[in-house]
Structure 1
Amino acid sequence: MQEPMVEQAMSQVSKQEELAEAERLNQQAEQLYQQGKYNEAIPLAEQALAIRKKIFVNNHLDVATSLNYLALLYKLQGRYAEAIPLAEQALAIRKKVLGDNHLDVAASLNNLAELYKLQARYAEAEPLYQQSLAITKQQLGDNDLYVATGLNNLALLYKLQARYTEAESLYQKSLDIRTQQFGDNHFYVATSLNNLAELYKLQGRYAEAENLYQQSLAITKQQFGDNDFYVASSLNNLAGLYQYQGRYAEAEHFYQQSLDIRKQQLGDNHPDVASSLNNLATLYVSQARYAEAEPLYQQSLAITKQQFGDNHPKVAATLNNLALLYFSQGRYAEAEPLFQQSLAIRKQQLGDNHPSVATGLNNLAGFYKLQERYAEAEPRFQQSLEIRKQQLGDNHPDVASSLNNLADLYQDQGRYAEAEHFYQQSLDIRKQQFGDNHPNVAESRNNLADLYKLQARYAEAEPLYQQALDINKQQLGDNHPKVAITLNNLARLSESQGNTSRAIELLSQGLRIEEYNLSENLVAGDERQKQDYMRKISGTTDWAISLNLQSAPNNLEATRLALKAIFERKGRILDVLTNSLQILRQRIDDPQSQELLTELIATRTQHANLIFKKPEDFPSPDVYRKLLTEVENKAKQLSDQLSRRSAEFRNLSQPITLEAIQKQIPADAALVELVRYESLGKPHYAAYIIYPNGEIKAKDLGEAEAIDKAVEKLRKRLRVSHPRTIKTLKAAGRDLDEMVMQPVRQLLGETKTILLSPDATLNLIPFEALVDENNQYLVENYQITYLTSGRDLLRQNPNNNRQSPLVIANPNYQQQGEVVALDAYRSIDLSQRVFMPLKGTQQEAETISSIFSQALTLMGNKATKNALKQVKNPDFLHIATHGFFETSLKNQNYVDNPLLRSGLVFAGVEKQQSGEDNGILTAYEGTLLNLLGTQLVVLSACDTGIGDISAGEGIYGLRRAFVIAGSESQLISLWKVEDTATKDLMVAYYQGLKAGKGRREALSQIQRDWLEGKNGKKYQHPYYWASFIFSGDSTPMEF
């Protein structure tokens, strides 16, 4: 009798141990679940389920619990097909054991409904949610917390089906119950407020949504403190609303706060962190800040894959977003496979007929459409439409979107009747779902109006545009970008109708809104981000010029409007960066600003030094690129912080006016703005001339292609110094003059002093070397000062306690032993790592020092990069050394900043010693030199005036760097000139300055003297006298 009892007891102990192990596994899985580590949690939950199935009969409640928990984990991983049978088994067990009306049965019904909802099986989900809610009400009464949850879940289902009225009623009931049970300030109340706000946002009820989001955020902060992950969710939701409204600065602020909290509370690899990174990236894409968006999408994708595996729907969503980014950048070969991968994952995980699959098909079709691959786009748009109709019903907003997209396709193909039919259907659905005043309704009206305008059905188009404008103003505010877009569309319609005055008035309003948003967006971000935003609005600058020159050449208001747009946008980024640094330099009483500035200087130096190191010096190319990326991102963050910091101190500046610029033009001068713009699908150049009395003249100069070719031809001729080349050189100079300056001269009349603001490739040539119709070089009759933009005339040049002049020359590139003195050109190829000594620079420096005895002169081993970086506000700065512009670095995909490809070399460069002084000062580092108040920077080196061309922003090279650093004026070179000739020009230039000549006048006098042969026949060639150009303040220097 004893033996069986012992065996039974031992068996019981074994079962208890196994059940304890199952419980331990569940607890461990729960911990991993809380950390977002679903991949790791699943095998533990599977083991726990297996143990319980082994110990218990299939109908045990613990088995149901394990089934339910494992279904939850599968759901989180997007494994819906595997989750559903588990949830169904759990429901069956609970019904059998507990009966049909138990609360656990209600929970199982709710869980199964949730899975059906995720699979878009809405018809099956709804009765389950309703049954769950009925049981909960029966067991707990109508006002219980669980009833509120059931109402909330059913409301969410209705929201997905666009059954907004039913959803709002249920959300409101859920909120009322929670408020009644817990009071106004409970977390559950905050959740209900948030859900109702989401619904209002969808309906375009933005003011109501914002109020509820803010209430939800306030409650969450009160209950959990400022840094809780629930607070992060509230911040994220509010940011989403602001993004939709075009309030980008506020959206970014809240997205960033949410991300920071989630990282702090959940760790860097949590799914919620991935979601925040994705949201912030999407915001950046909407602002065309593509360089910032890409690494965030990549990080989000890596986390999502790590947590969910490669085939989760969330992975598909991030791949889709990354594809859209690449597409926006024109990186089509990279975008297409990502669109396809995203679609394949959705089909695999969700089935062929899921709404998410429809979204994937729609995006891929949109990609094909914009590439004019219409035969591939149309069937995908149609498949997407059919899925949405089947799953969501004929009147769902997503169906309206599909109809709209198909209409866009048909419009592009000229199939106007079909396009109109689908646009009208889309509009009808949106009006039915959202009412007449939703932004989506405005979009439909705008699109239909575009179609009518194309067909010259102007009378039908106009009221639609006007209605779209009224809706956008009402819902999004007067300064939203969509308001500007609609105004611009109305302006184009007016132009088509021949109503030029109304077109000008409407375009003026649109440009004013764009200027408002431009000012807001340029406050933050680094230079690359600012460039991205400027490119986004360049189309309206082009159109303002085109409207003036092509449609209204004799309309003064059109001319003034175009010129105002040029002044507001051309060289704008340079101005912003210069002003920001000036403000921060002057805030010496603000330790935080000075610390940020110091850290940015160190980080940029580290970044530049890395560029000129060899990848083979690192363990692997991947390590090198990773380090480069980290340093570059840190520099961007610091630049962004400094931009924002300077904005805090900036007084409200007066808007740029033509009158303000006109007042700064000397009485004997004229300002000539040359601008490249798009006209009728082709780039053109134009000239705008403004006189001191306010008179403005404008002229189209013709297609850019011919002018750019003439520029390149002249540049090639100028680089050859042989006397026999004079004839062909003058012919090239005449060709370019005939296209550009002869038309300008016809407008200038007797004016001989020109303040010239070139654009695009015209920045690369000395206009003094152009040849007029009398076979004379322009330098013989004109004095030319170069500007980035006419706005340069408004720049304040504070006398910031200037120090003694600094002359740096003849660096010892080896910093060891003796070097052989040889004549050389002051330009080098960095890839050779050999730097010829420059004998002439020592004589040059000694002569300058004899003219200006107070000058500090650094030569030989003392002529270092670090010595230059330590100097503050020298009266003038003269640097005589080798210059470079390295086009080869552009081919390395990790060097995308043009300011890293141009620079100057200093002592010790050949040794490439460690530390921050590698002997190379890039333009990127030069931007942070302290030259505020420095009257003149002379770069007595070759190639200091060239760099990457950016239409509307000038040349990205050394001149730009020294302007940003604060200098008033610059003397720079456009090509390689031998050492001795450069020395002779520099000595003569400083003698002229000492004699009291203006900074531009001193150079012009040398150029004319050399042309006349006063310094020998050799120097008569433009190769010698035209190589240096002057830009900036041309008045005499103060000594």
Structure 2
Amino acid sequence: MAEADSLFTHSQFDEAFKLFESNAESFYGNGDQENYIYCHLRMAACEIGKGEIDAGVFRAEQSLEHIREYLEDTTSIIAQAHMVVGSGYLHVGRNDLALENLLLAEPYLEEKTLNKAECLEEIGVAYWNNGNRDLALQFHERALDIRRKIDQIPASLIGDSNNNIGLVYLNEEPLQSIIYFNRAVDLYQDNPEQNRRKIALCYVNIAYANAELANYMEALEYLDRMDSIWADIYDGPHGNKAFVLNNRGRIYKMKGDFNQALVYQQEALKMYLNIHGEKHPDVANTFLLIGQIYQQKGDYERAAINYQRSVYSNLYDQSFADLYSNPEIKNFYNADILLTSLQSKAKAMEALHFEKSLKKRDIDGALTSYLLCDELISIIRQTRINEADKLRLAGIAAEVYENGIYIAQYLSEHSFKKKEYLKIAFEFAERSKAALLLQAINDTNAKHFAGIPDSELALEDSLKVEIDLLDQMLMQDISDEERERIKGQVFEYQRALRDFVSGLEEKYPSYYQLKYDTKLASVWDVQASLTDEEWLLSYFVGEKKIFVFSITSDKYQLFDVDKPEKFNSQVIGMRNTIKYRMEEENRSISKQLYQLLIPKMEKGKSSLTILPDGLLSTVTFESLIDEEGSYLIERIAINYDYSATLYLQKPLEQLHGDMSALLVAPVEFDANSGMSDLPSTEKEVNEIRYLLSGNGLTVDVSLHEQASESNVVHKLEEGYRYLHLATHGMVDEDHPGQSSIYLNADQSGDGRLYCSEIYSTKINSNLVSLSACETGLGKISQGEGVIGLSRALKYSGAQNLLVSLWQVNDQSTSELMISFYKNHLYHSDKEGYRDDLRKAKLEMIRSEKYSDPYYWAPFILIGR
């Protein structure tokens, strides 16, 4: 049987199949049921390798039944059977069934074996297919690590791992992918004759990567090498041949030769249809590519028809009718291809309407396609697992929502259903805002309402803590060997966490239902929540337009303005001219941005809620200067939030520390931290303690060495209405999870409360004040806004946040904070904190010493 296994390892499937078949007959005659079934599973794998997928899956499923009937100790061989079934489903694009079987197999395969590595590799491919790029990379790297440690392993298997890692990098980092593909080719050269198929596939991948880098001639040269190889290996049609045709067409399209591109894509389509029939992700992808060529040629109707065919080829139980039929978003092969097809169809029908037909049904069809995209994005969000993959989807979704807003606005102006289309426009904008934060908060709330015991939630928290600690270790300067060891631990903890969450969903059905039952706030919900004095502005920053949603209790308007060519520079410049006290330049930029961003204000408005988008999250709207030369804060109180849904969301539970406050100030910092001492913070904290205790609150103060990380985290578990942290904050835009609040180190902690640790901490305070530098900043992510400390605090339960956008003199900060609390405790005649902050800022504006916006502008209120 060793010879058959060797032939299989080197992809010589016909020869291997015959040997396994012969061995199976011998084992059956001897009554050796286990080896008989093993041979049939290998025969099934050979059939899958040859492209005879249905036959292979059928044989493997028959073997599963045989195992259950004839064998007693079935764990290992059932795992192998599930692995073969999963592999088969992977080849026909059924990633859902593939993952279901592969994940059943993986835990029961013996550690540090070729079988284990192969299963991990195929799970990685399945995750890559459904858009979980970062998770796929983890599985491929784990498979590679196992293979490297096995003695006398064929070099081709190491090559397979490198090839798969290259595929993960292919679209976003083509240069990195070429490095891995070339490593794979070098490893396959260990036995070039046996590895011809694998070398050929690497050449296709290298060609694809070169095309991404616009090296078209080099890409075509690699494809030319393929023709003789495939002609020698395959007599008739084959998916690998079609894939080469597909790539030729793609390269010619990128070169601008659309006619030649169309010829190759149509040949590829004919071959794919011959092999797979109408229903397959490869067929769907080729229809999509043909549609893109027609769109480039300006034939929008043909483009739209091919996109529609792509949609229905991706749905395995729905049939194509015509251009205007609308599919149900369910039972699809590849979500990413389906999303691109629907989005492309919407663009084609939009172009068909404006440039040719002017028929309302075409522009209606475009809007309907965007609504279907939105429905699909909501489904995909449930399958994205890692944060990076979720953020990648948010970036793609932002383009869908921008186009959807534009068309809904256009239809509102050209139909009798103005309100209905404006409602849709707002819903698109709302879906684009902080969807991941809302999903995370919704998940926490679902656990609460589903009645999951604290003991189970504590286990989840402990797994997250371990992952955070390991991630921090990976940020250090460590050896390659240590890095690989830690990455292996991260992999195991993350797998345990995924299994734990899956177990919760199965054990508590109400948790699963509530987790994904996200009701977004409508424009009517917002209007119902506003008083006559309140005004809300929600922004969506697109590629060419900025959309401004203006909402009061009795009026809803949608404005759009052309986005200036240097808009990003203006926004960054505004912040920098304040930060570096460039008065003349700041006044000019602030006036320009006011004219761009602020609609005409109605009389009688005393408060303004800003829901920013993207880079606007770094703008201090308070310091915008109106046509009369006044700061906006002089006219109206201002607060911020991530989205209307989060703004209207009620607290999960009543605060158990309703009449208490925790005030924290390390004051001095370790010289090794690189942070300067903050002597004024001690006076600030003592003054706030005096104010709060004078109003009947129980005040807990942690100063100097008492302001240690472990002590503060422990105290937070008790719950406080007010949490005031007068200390430094550090933002890491490249690694948001490593952003931190500086405290004092002790035996239990390094003195830095990391963003990732805050996510695992229950704060539930009514107000968290971060009297620190740049605590409101973080990584700007399209569709998600600022990802940093304030976001983590919001997730951990903070209802309102007072944070800063740049480092400010600690004396002026202290005075503003004391003034803010005085206003809140003694002078406030309104609910919330925005009016109190406005009064504190106005005091500084009217003072001689701190009137410059440098001192008061950076502090913003997230909440009310």
Which interval holds the TM-score relative to the shorter structure?
0.7 to 0.9
Which moves more between the two structures, 381-390 or 250-259? Answer: 250-259
1:531 aligns with 2:391: yes
What corresponds to 2:834 in structure 1?
1001
Answer yes or no: is 1:699 the counterpart of 2:560: yes
Aligned partner letter, 2:394 = M
The structure with the larger Rg is 1
Q: Note the alpha carbon deviations across 1:892-933, whole angstroms, 9 max, x for none.
A: xxxx631212x2222x43xxx44x32222122211222123x
Which amino acid counterpart does residue 866 of structure 1 have in structure 2? S
Structure 2 distance, partners of 1:449, 1:608, is 43
Structure 2 matches for 1:386-535, cutoff 5 A?
386-475=228-317, 478-479=329-330, 480=332, 481=335, 482-498=337-353, 499-518=362-381, 520-522=382-384, 525-535=385-395
Mark the CA change 1:425 to 1:246 in structure 2 (over 3 Å): closer, same or farther: closer
Do the aligned partners of 2:138 and 2:491 also contact (CA within 8 Å) in 1?
Answer: no
Identify the match of residue 927 of structure 1 among 759, 763, 766. Answer: 759
Instruction: Pick one of 793, 802, 818 that aligns with 1:962.
Output: 793
> Could you tell me whether the CA contact under 8 Å between 2:664 and 2:726 is conserved in 1?
yes
- 1:544 is aligned to 2:404: yes
Q: Deviations over 1:361-397 (max 9, x none)?
A: 1111111111111010112112213321232024223
Aligned to 2:113, which of 259, 270, 275?
270
Alignment of 1:97-246 (within 5 A): 117=12, 146=25, 216-217=63-64, 219-221=66-68, 223-224=70-71, 228-240=75-87
Any idea what the Cα deviations from partners look like across 1:291-345, whole Å, max 9, x if unmatched? 3333332232233244365862222222111111222342x33322221222233
> Equivalent residue for 1:342?
184
What displacement does 1:572 show? 0.9
CA contact (8 A) 1:686 1:702 kept: no
State the alpha-carbon separation in 1 of the partners of residues 661 and 458 from structure 2.
Answer: 26
The CA distance in 2 between the partners of 1:588 and 1:874, in whole Å, is 21
Is the CA contact (8 Å cut-off) linking 1:581 and 1:646 kept in structure 2?
no
Give the direction of change, closer, same or farther, for the CA distance of 1:543–1:646 in structure 2 (3 Å limit).
Answer: farther
The structure-2 alpha-carbon separation of the partners of 1:318 and 1:492, relative to structure 1 and needing over 3 Å to count, comes to same
Question: What secondary structure is seen at the aligned counterpart in 2 of 1:808?
Answer: strand
Q: Which residue of 2 aligns with 1:905?
A: 742
**2:499 maps to 1:658:** no
The whole-number CA distance in structure 1 between the counterparts of 2:661 and 2:97 is: 45
Q: By how many angstroms is 1:939 displaced?
A: 1.4
**Counterparts of 1:483 and 1:868, CA distance in 2:** 49
Within-5 A mapping of 1:68-79: 75=7, 78=10
Residue in structure 2 matching 1:678, options 543, 557, 561: 543
Q: Do the aligned partners of 1:319 and 1:339 also contact (CA within 8 Å) in 2?
A: yes
Q: Secondary structure at the match of 2:753?
A: strand
Match for residue 588 of structure 2?
731
The answer to whether the Cα contact below 8 Å between 1:311 and 1:349 also exists between their aligned partners in 2 is: no
| Residues 38 and 77, structure 2, Cα contact 8 Å, conserved in 1 | no
Residue segments in structure 2 that go unaligned for 5+ positions in a row: 319-327, 354-361
- The alpha carbon displacement at 1:880 in A equals 3.2
Q: Give the direction of change, closer, same or farther, for the CA distance of 1:641–1:1031 in structure 2 (3 Å limit).
A: farther
2:434 paired residue among 571, 576, 584? 571
Q: In structure 2, do the counterparts of structure 1 residues 631 and 789 end up closer, same or farther at CA, with 3 Å as the change threshold?
A: farther
SS in 2 for 1:678: coil
In 2, distance between residues paired with 1:634 and 1:835?
41
Which aligned pairs between 1:740-819 and structure 2 lie closer than 5 A? Answer: 740-741=597-598, 745-746=599-600, 753-803=607-657, 804-811=659-666, 813=668
Q: Percent same amino acid at aligned positions?
A: 17
Render the CA deviation track for 1:9-51: whole Å, top value 9, x for unaligned. xxxxxxxxxxxxxxxxxxxxxxxxxxxxxxxxxxxxxxxxxxx
1:80-135 deviation line (CA, Å, top 9, x unaligned)? xxxxxxxxxxxxxxxxxxxxxxxxxxxxxxxxxxx9x45xxx7xx69x959x99xx
Q: Among residues 556, 568, 572, which one is paired with 1:708 in the alignment?
A: 568
Distance 1:517 1:809, change over 3 A: closer
Contact 2:727 2:770 in 1 (8 A): no
Q: Which moved more, 1:772-781 or 1:756-765?
A: 756-765
- CA drift of 1:935 comes to 1.4
Structure-1-length-normalised TM-score: 0.71
Task: Show the counterpart of 1:880.
Answer: 725
1:800 and 1:729 map into 2 onto residues whose CA distance is: 43
CA contact (8 A) 2:816 2:841 kept: no
Counterpart pick for 1:603 among 439, 443, 466: 466
Give the distance between the partners of 2:127 and 2:57, measured in 1 at CA. Answer: 22
Cα offset for 1:249? 6.1
Structure-2 residue corresponding to 1:98: none
CA distance in 2, matches of 1:344, 1:329: 23
Report the CA distance between 1:770 and its aligned residue: 0.6
* Partner Cα separation in structure 2 for residue 921 and residue 453 of structure 1: 52
Structure 1 residues 989, 405: closer, same or farther in 2, change over 3 A? same
Do structure 1's residue 317 and structure 2's residue 160 form an aligned pair?
A: yes
Q: Distance in 2 between matches of 1:461 and 1:181?
A: 61
Tell me the SS of whatever aligns to 1:797: coil
CA distances 1:56-83 after superposition (whole Å, capped 9, x unpaired) = xxxxxxxxxxxx96x56865775xxxxx
RMSD: 4.0
When residues 658 and 362 of structure 1 are mapped into structure 2, their CA distance, relative to the original with a 3 A threshold, is same
Matching residue of 2:169: 326
User: Which of 667, 682, 707 is residue 531 of structure 2 equivalent to?
Assistant: 667
Partner-residue secondary structure (3-state), 1:492: helix
CA 1:696/1:388 → structure 2, altered by over 3 Å: closer, same or farther? farther
Per the TM alignment, residue 1031 of structure 1 is displaced from its structure 2 partner at its CA by: 0.9
TM-score (norm 2): 0.85
Q: Residue 605 and residue 493 in structure 1: after superposition, are their counterparts in 2 closer, same or farther (change >3 A)?
A: closer
Opposite residue 248 of structure 2, the aligned amino acid is L
Gaps of 5+ in 1: 1-67, 79-114, 137-143, 150-177, 816-828, 891-895, 1035-1039
Partner residue of 1:688? 549
CA distance in 2, matches of 1:428, 1:464: 14
Contact 1:770/1:778 (8 A) holds in 2: yes
CA contact (8 A) 1:830 1:886 kept: no
Instruction: Kindly provide the amino acid, as one letter, of the partner of residue 656 in structure 1.
Output: L
Q: Which is further off, 384-393 or 360-369?
A: 384-393
Q: Which moves more between the two structures, 978-987 or 489-498?
A: 978-987
Equivalent in 345, 361, 380 of residue 203 of structure 2: 361
